[in-house]
Structure 1
């Protein structure tokens, strides 16, 4: 529970900053290619938000590294030969890369050539992506361990790094996580633009945000649903008990029905108030109408995961995805008819959609991590055997309470700062709206024309 609370707080920030770093590359590239000032104003706006979220993500992530030693010393001792190098690679190739170029991205505008500044933005985005890759390799190995051997003392030793790095599980779970980050950012951007349009402010910038955010989401959400089906295939083949828990399927069925919603009762081993679709369970699991699907009762109770959390979390995740798909596609339909900015109800729906990506990401993690219990390394090392010996419940409860208080304070402060930055907008309160002239801003800027804005430091431009 303590590690779940820690990582649930932490993952909110990578889920945002991984996609936001890529979005900043797009904005800076568009600014270089077109010379339009609107792209640089949006870049400066989102870069500040990225810096705050990046800092909060780093602070919250450091705690988890210590928890591997304090709470999971047996896991670290037995799997350190595999997990240790993977986490070191994450620091060498990802964190060091993004941290090195982060300073250039924050303070190099107007001090380095435009192409070099764009390269720094690309390196930061690449660093955040590589960080996600190594973390997903590590986690995927715990979900489906390959390329290892166990010594007589129980130590896991790598026998094939090629199998570990290029496991087919990695190459469906990593794109799934990466797309989740991009979609989360796309809806945050679109929601911010919709909010400013509803308030009648920053129409140029807000229109770009809504159009680009919804347009990107309209492409990525269907791709995410397809990748998600591939993730489901690996769960079906490699973690059948998790698959049964997600479906709340208690007994073998042929053909299997799909439970849309129910109340799983683990003691009675049945579902209450179930609404099911005949044959759909076999169709989803194996793309046939008559496949035999296993139930939870095929395993002993101590070998089953909790059922309610993965069952409800999976449905919340899918529901958020379908809702985002509907908003994005209808928004693109209105864009094609040039009616997007006039549809206030869609703007309200878009403005209220900003938490959907975060909720989908969190519930997806709950499905993956709770669903693999009672295993820390699936099928090899139980969670109960991975914990630090002599670690007592009061000790963990006390530190969990402290973490909850501290993280709530950090999260509250971070949200307040981000809200103020978003409320201020790309140009601040005094900036003009579409078609207006700003009396406080000259028509020409120091160092060149508006088409050469990369030569102007941000403090002079703003």
Structure 2
């Protein structure tokens, strides 16, 4: 056997690799579930077939993403038991019930109504089908509630005691669930899921509009995504600021690494760029704004911020990784805000669908939400090191007593299998994205749009554009959704 890394590092890399795949899919599932719920509500309210067609377009994407999230999540559960058995033993009395609550209150809810949502549109009434979609959407958020409660407790443990066996046990479940960082982390993650979905939808819509700027369904998708960017991105920035203040209170060493502050000081600068040098405890080539760091984090230009020198060096996280992942996340957040403001300006000037540049930018920004989520996860989890339960249980003391070659071999196996299996899944998702959203399900194979009865193409616009206009504007009997 071979040994690339020691057993603990290999186990950490394995978990980091698998959760990096996993975290993307639940985030998109949450956002898409709520997007589908909104689309169906608008369809029921307005009776416009275009909302139903867009719903049909994205529900297949949701089904694939949801399945990939479930599969990757199950793998992680096994991994915790095999590679991190000591962690499982120590934290099981607290984390086990919380994970159980997630299955009982969220996963069963999602799974129970998912079948009706996916296959029941022609078999059950409108109201029951809409109710099923709502339950799936609510289930995804409840699932996020429990998972983030678990993760937040590991970051800011509260409401516990330690028994004679050295296990964490709950002394106050209310404090365990609603630990100090949970509300901020939950809001921040839910908003991230909505923004991730918005820019994914916007990127797909932009791609189709660049091919055909008259595509009415793509125009509606693009409009809705830009509204979401405009409304949610500033809220996310504010929520992130509150989350940062909470982190400063409970995990000041993580904030010092995020900000690149090696020295404790009053009136700390905001370091925009630079390269942290841990050995020499400095940031090379830094570009900084004087006192702005203290102003943001303490709301006082001369406020005191503890630096990394306030903590033992052996407890420092990977400073360069935390420093740069945090900046990537923040930069993407402000880029999203800029796109939202730009779209509002173009909308005001009635040029939203005419501007080629905003479509190109939206296409480039399509994966931005997933990149921001990964960067935020790295900031959060690497910034917690060297602990699994912050300040209480060290990572090196949490791992299973496994031989390094065995863990290295499983790490390589995971990499190969994941790239094959999930690579195929992502390839299929791109095939779904390539479908033209203006076509009805029955016309996907032929590539021809359905024409309302008795309607001929409008002269000069072409058959596809004419059919879209008919579908969008004329709610006659020939255009009524099935099952009505």
Q: Work out whether residues 448 and 464 of structure 2, in 8 Å CA contact, stay in contact via their aligned partners in 1.
A: no
Give 3-state SS (helix, strand or coil) of 2:153's partner: helix
Change (3 A) 1:39 1:304: same
State the partner residue of 1:347: 359
Counterpart in 1 of 2:56? 44
Q: Is the 8 A contact 1:95 1:131 kept in 2?
A: yes
Contact 1:283 1:289 in 2 (8 A): yes
SS of 1:341 mapped into structure 2: coil
Q: How far apart, in 2, do the equivalents of 1:108 and 1:227 lie?
A: 38
Please state how far the C-alpha of 1:246 moved relative to its aligned partner.
Answer: 0.5
**2:214 touches 2:465 (CA, 8 Å); kept in 1?**
no
Shift of 1:444: 11
- Report the equivalent of 1:430: 448
- How far does residue 452 in structure 1 lie from its aligned partner after superposition? 4.2
C-alpha distance in 1 between matches for 2:365 and 2:40: 26
Matches within 5 A, 1:40-439: 40-200=52-212, 203-389=215-401, 391-426=402-437, 427=439, 428=444, 429-431=447-449, 435-437=465-467
Name the SS for the 2:169 alignment partner: strand
Structure 1 distance, partners of 2:287, 2:191, is 31
Deviation at 1:436, TM superposition (A): 2.1
**In 1: Cα distance, 2:285 partner to 2:44 partner:** 58
Range with bigger deviation, 399-408 or 425-434: 425-434
SS in 2 for 1:342: coil
Task: Give TM-score, length-normalised by structure 1.
Answer: 0.94
Match for residue 9 of structure 2?
A: none
Q: 2: CA distance between counterparts of 1:253 and 1:21?
A: 46
- 1:114-143 alpha-carbon deviations (Å, 9 max, x no partner): 011000000000111111110000000000
What's the counterpart of residue 477 of structure 2? 449
Deviation at 1:397, TM superposition (A): 1.3
State the match for 1:459 in structure 2: none
Q: For 1:392 and 1:217, how far apart are their aligned partners in 2?
A: 48
What is the root-mean-square deviation in Å for CA atoms of aligned residues?
A: 1.8
Give the Å deviation of 1:420.
Answer: 1.0
For the 8 Å contact 2:158–2:180, the answer to whether it is kept is no
Give unmatched runs, 5+ long, in structure 2.
1-12, 451-462
Structure 1 CA distance, aligned partners of 2:214 and 2:380?
41
Show the 5 A alignment for 1:3-22: 3-22=15-34
Q: Is this contact kept in 1: 2:215–2:465, CA < 8 A?
A: no
SS at match of 1:260: strand
* Secondary structure class of the residue paired with 2:466: coil
Q: In structure 2, the residue corresponding to 1:407 is in which secondary structure? A: helix
Which consecutive segments of 4 or more residues in structure 1 shift more than 4 A? Answer: none
Deviation at 1:203, TM superposition (A): 1.1
Measure how far apart 1:435 and its partner are: 3.5
Aligned residues: 450
DSSP 3-state at the match of 1:271: strand
Deviation per CA, 1:228-270: give whole Å up to 9, x if none. 0111011101001111100111111111111111111111111
Gap change, CA 1:455 and 1:444, over 3 Å in 2: farther
Answer yes or no: is the 8 Å Cα contact 2:156–2:180 preserved in 1: no
Cα distance in 1 for residues equivalent to 2:214 and 2:154: 47
What TM-score results when the alignment is normalised by the length of structure 2?
Answer: 0.90
Unaligned runs of 5+ residues in structure 1 are 457-462
Using the alignment, how far apart are the partners of 2:51 and 2:199 within structure 1? 18
- The question of whether the paired residues in 2 share the 8 Å contact of 1:13 and 1:57 is answered with yes
State the alpha-carbon separation in 2 of the partners of residues 83 and 449 from structure 1. 55
Contact 1:218 1:329 in 2 (8 A): yes
Secondary structure of 1:86 counterpart: helix
Deviations 1:150-198 (A, max 9, x none): 1232111100011122234111110100000000001111111111111
Q: Is the 8 A contact 1:24 1:121 kept in 2?
A: yes
Q: Structure 1: how far apart are the matches of 2:275 and 2:207?
A: 37
- Partner of 2:174, secondary structure, is helix
